[in-house]
Structure 1
């Protein structure tokens, strides 16, 4: 169709945004970016136009705009498209040159620097799942691209990656399930230059939390809904302008949009073992009154289930990136660390442990990408995402533990980043919400 974006257009659109921004000079990415843009332009790709920001309420005039399903090629091929390679290549370089060196400072301050967040907005992360008609980059679902982006960012630092991806989670939720009015009201802001800080709040501060058994309650009133409850692990909650909150409404889990300026909304500290750079906090809701139209879309139970699955898929992608960082780090370490006159990699027990990490990572990645592929094709992916969640949670923790073990005493000190990766990986099996693909 004439108005459909060429599949290569997304990569060029992202690269064009970066090439026109001064951040590339700060990040020393100018040469590689211009080279990629040249190659893209040479192939005849189109560039998405920027959209201005507006946050005032807009009445809907029709059906919401939805992303199309990606067609099934009939071929099982996990090779990223050239489009995906463009995006991931730049983000990997950014993660290596900015996120990795700044990880210790970000963790110490319990926040990701605003300069870093401003830089990642240039990559168009919030645009990947916004329809082109609403200022986004695509007309098709991009769950696989989302997983690859999460993996690339987490290879630098998972905590900062979560902070960078949090606004995209809200934009994706509104895009996938929001009403026409909600899309027209909020999505232009996420497609603009000044992206609002926002968070998807699902988790609650209690033992054995089940996202389908919520204690945050929404009661119907004459004017809409009244919400009471506490949400935990809310990314950068103290600065968020907009929340998508999971609540129990009429006995069914439902997503609700709440603006931070609403009376009764307050934020508390929520110190965590890992993901400290994500600035996790608690969202306290005390008699918060919202309109009935604040329910995301039609409040479908199927939409909520899909949200949880796509969130778990995003966490699986983050686990892949951090696990890859562990593997690369320990592989180099055991080759250079000597004991009794030879590298410790010559010892069979050490070599086998590193090999196991590589094997486990490969299994995690295959399962996660399969789940993402089925998701973007509109196929049932409940089984695949359950497997991906199980493998990344279990083996992610094992990889973190083995990474610390392989470094011996060095694995316990902050001089080496493996102890931080170990703590971050333990979040994969516990976190709900926060990120979305």
Structure 2
């Protein structure tokens, strides 16, 4: 039986009812709706009118944000919210093979990445804007609710770091920039599910589990030399009614459209996360197009005397929540690098077998064959390190060492894989006719970007 035909009838949005629902049912149902809609056709079209609108981000802009919705505040601000349970720890021999549910999830997202994301990637990179049809298709398969606990309207029965890692990898194989744009709202929702109080979850999460999912972003990176993400320059000052934030954040995905931000700031010498709505006075957004990850519509946020209430703090104020957020974000970027590096390997392998030079395929040359083999070896090492870190994070174990090793490998080797991919294509690697040059630019972001997404 095929993946789509195995769907069971469900309730709202095609989600299986509580009696028959499995954790992956929402995504499978969404893909079924996607296959029956015209979204796939839409993402392959680009009207002149869309070009004019999308070029705003590419060329740069500077605006004061305005609130596009009002989040209804809930009470009991100090009450702990719902938390996903740690994933069950496997017994016996160390094994990173995905579970049956995880593999089904990978299959669903891979199909979405192949049929929707990949065809739209080149145009999105050029215009610095993710097509709305692509984002809607991602919403249709449930990406924003992947990390939200089931009792809050999501599909997560336990910590979803492993599932989130697999999803990020599968999406990035289609395109890293569009993957970041698609995963950004869900990253904020996941952060609320992990650290939000009962009031914060009741205030914000209903928007992410409904039909009109808001754009949202996790903003940690700052435009400073030798930036240390654990020592942000953005400051938070206590007042009688809450806090006042001042500073600058950069490389924030879809910041011009975002309605909610999770920002990092220094409070009493400790890094702390704050919830900031887009309508806050003193919050300014400016286009910040970069070398890579351009489809994510990267922006810069300037906070000048931005006032937030006392209950805007997300998690603990001792730096522990912020530190865990950084580690989960780095885990997500490792997964993104793996997916993009896999795309490079899948592209160059048939290319070197078909490309003729001096009367034979260039794959017959040892220098070429060894370079492709090295890509495969380094990619597998990146994947194993990342999966191990994700598995420990999902089980609620300390994964500080594992994620540090994974990020070092993915930043260095991922960038090298992108470079070798360009080299293997020769002159073709330098032109936009082939996607390898875009993947090379995207892979350079892994060692630079902090925040934006998390698992």
TM-score by length of 2: 0.87
Shift of 1:212: 1.2
SS at match of 1:239: coil
Aligned to 1:281: 299
* Equivalent residues of 2:27, 2:108 under 8 A apart: no
Between the aligned partners of 2:361 and 2:259, the Cα distance in structure 1 is 52
Shift of 1:73: 1.7
Aligned to 1:59: 75
- Could you report, residue by residue, the CA deviation over 1:265-321 in whole angstroms, capped at 9, with x for unpaired residues? 110111200011000000110110111110113334111111000000000000000
Aligned to 1:13: 26
Q: Does 1:136 align with 2:154?
A: yes
* Equivalent residues of 1:55, 1:188 under 8 A apart: no
Between the aligned partners of 1:370 and 1:244, the Cα distance in structure 2 is 27
Between the aligned partners of 2:386 and 2:399, the Cα distance in structure 1 is 10
Shift of 1:74: 1.2
Q: Which of residues 412, 415, 435 is equivalent to 1:397?
A: 415
Counterparts in 2 of 1:194 and 1:406: CA distance versus 1, 3 Å: same
Between the aligned partners of 1:319 and 1:23, the Cα distance in structure 2 is 31
Aligned residues: 409
Aligned to 2:312: 294
Aligned to 2:14: none
User: Which aligned pairs between 1:242-391 and structure 2 lie closer than 5 A?
Assistant: 242-391=260-409
* Equivalent residues of 1:258, 1:294 under 8 A apart: yes
Between the aligned partners of 1:425 and 1:202, the Cα distance in structure 2 is 19
Shift of 1:94: 1.5
Unaligned runs of at least 5 residues, structure 2: 1-17, 42-68
Shift of 1:138: 2.0
Between the aligned partners of 2:224 and 2:111, the Cα distance in structure 1 is 38
Between the aligned partners of 2:321 and 2:25, the Cα distance in structure 1 is 31
Between the aligned partners of 2:151 and 2:108, the Cα distance in structure 1 is 26
Judge which range, 100-109 or 380-389, deviates more: 100-109
Shift of 1:390: 0.2
Between the aligned partners of 1:21 and 1:400, the Cα distance in structure 2 is 32
SS at match of 1:240: coil
Q: Which runs of 4+ in 1 moved over 6 A?
A: 5-8
Shift of 1:22: 6.7
Shift of 1:13: 2.6
* Equivalent residues of 1:8, 1:82 under 8 A apart: no
Unaligned runs of at least 5 residues, structure 1: 29-52
Between the aligned partners of 2:423 and 2:240, the Cα distance in structure 1 is 59
* Equivalent residues of 1:200, 1:244 under 8 A apart: yes
Shift of 1:7: 12
Aligned to 1:93: 111
Between the aligned partners of 1:232 and 1:138, the Cα distance in structure 2 is 30
- Could you report, residue by residue, the CA deviation over 1:362-407 in whole angstroms, capped at 9, with x for unpaired residues? 0000000000000000111000000000000000010000000000
* Equivalent residues of 1:8, 1:83 under 8 A apart: no
* Equivalent residues of 1:27, 1:94 under 8 A apart: no
* Equivalent residues of 2:39, 2:133 under 8 A apart: no
Q: Does 1:428 align with 2:455?
A: no
* Equivalent residues of 1:11, 1:86 under 8 A apart: yes
Shift of 1:54: 8.8
Judge which range, 80-89 or 363-372, deviates more: 80-89
TM-score by length of 1: 0.91
* Equivalent residues of 2:31, 2:108 under 8 A apart: no
Between the aligned partners of 2:269 and 2:318, the Cα distance in structure 1 is 12
Shift of 1:108: 1.0
SS at match of 1:232: strand
Between the aligned partners of 2:312 and 2:134, the Cα distance in structure 1 is 31
Shift of 1:27: 3.7
Between the aligned partners of 2:377 and 2:21, the Cα distance in structure 1 is 32
Shift of 1:8: 8.1
Between the aligned partners of 2:454 and 2:37, the Cα distance in structure 1 is 26
SS at match of 1:355: helix
* Equivalent residues of 1:54, 1:189 under 8 A apart: no
- Could you report, residue by residue, the CA deviation over 1:225-251 in whole angstroms, capped at 9, with x for unpaired residues? 111110000001000000000001111
- Could you report, residue by residue, the CA deviation over 1:321-341 in whole angstroms, capped at 9, with x for unpaired residues? 000000010001100100011
Shift of 1:6: 9.9
